Amino acid sequence: MKRPRKVAITGASSGLGAALAREYAGPGRSLALSARRLDKLAQIKRDCEERGADVSVRSLDVTDVKQVEAWVDEIERSGPVDLLIANAGIFTGHGADGQWETMADLVRQIDTNLTGTMATISGIAPRMQTRGHGHIAMVSSLAALQPLADAPGYSAAKAGILAYGEAIREYLADDNVTVSIILPGNIATAQTAVQIGAQPGIITAEKAAQVIRRRLDRGRTIIAFPDIMHWLIRLERVLPWRVRAWTHRPFRFHVDPRSGGGNGQD
């Protein structure tokens, strides 16, 4: 695919978003980065500028549709976005001793992970459609393919992103707009810092960003990794659910917010 000259990334101040910003930073490239906290974005901006990129940053809460619309208007005024990566998201799940995640946590995850992703994409997709080119990527999770018993709200939100992505991929196909859905496994970020338990196949955010960029460059529309985890999930879907549940027991976890963070929108 054509090398994107302007890349917009939400949730770019930490974790995977920050790693993606650094991965795409380079001479001749413009980056539009957003996150809720400008102080955390400042260092990412410096890092990317040192690599030769032209960088703009904005404080953005993707659950606020008017903020999202204003950001899109702002970044498009200085030139069309070639690649949008809708990455902003949060994570929580059941606590220790069988403590259910709260209704507030459930709603917050749907608002940020799913509605925020749709709001961001809805702001840019029609412009790409009119131009007749563009690339939209959205970060879902392998949990969309194999929901996590210990993080049902997160799993539901990420499954929603997968469904939304597949729908607009078909809708935009005739307009030469590529839609890619990213389904990572465990990445060493603030999300896994609060996840107390086994984390099979965990990789660094930098490695994940490299995988994502390579596959986006090839125009892949489904980017699921690590590959072995993806194929194991696909294979086990033919098994009865009780058998799957038994195989998942060694990988169960609980969430302890005191041990880190888990907010990929900061």
258 pLDDT more than 80: no
Q: Please indicate, yes or no, if residue 121 is contained in any of the structural domains.
A: yes
The tens digit of pLDDT for each residue in 105-147 reads 999 999 999 999 999 999 999 999 999 999 999 999 999 999 9
Specify if 266 maps to a domain: no
Instruction: Output the pLDDT for position 264.
Output: 56
Q: For 88-103, what is each residue's pLDDT tens digit? A: 999 999 999 889 999 9
Q: Is a pLDDT exceeding 90 seen at residue 51?
A: yes
Q: Is the pLDDT of residue 261 over 90?
A: no
138 is a domain residue: yes
Does residue 253 sit within a domain?
yes
- The rounded distance, in Å, linking the Cα atoms of 68 and 105 is 22
Do the Cβ atoms of 195 and 152 come closer than 8 Å? no
> What does the pLDDT read at residue 260?
45
pLDDT at 1: 72
Is 90 exceeded by the pLDDT of residue 80? yes
pLDDT at residue number 133: 96
Residue 115 covered by a domain = yes
Helix runs in the chain, H state only:
15-24, 38-50, 65-77, 103-109, 116-131, 152-172, 190-193, 205-217, 227-236, 241-248
Please give the backbone phi and psi of residue 141, each rounded to the nearest 5 degrees, phi first. Answer: -170, 155
Q: Is the pLDDT of residue 79 over 70?
A: yes
Examine residue 143 and state whether it is found in any structural domain, yes or no: yes
* Number of structural domains the chain divides into: 1
pLDDT attached to residue 97 = 87
Residue 162, in any domain of the structure = yes
Identify the domain containing residue 171 by its residue range. Answer: 6-259
Q: What CATH code is carried by the domain that includes residue 136?
A: 3.40.50.720
Q: What is the pTM of this model?
A: 0.95
Residue 176 lies in a domain: yes
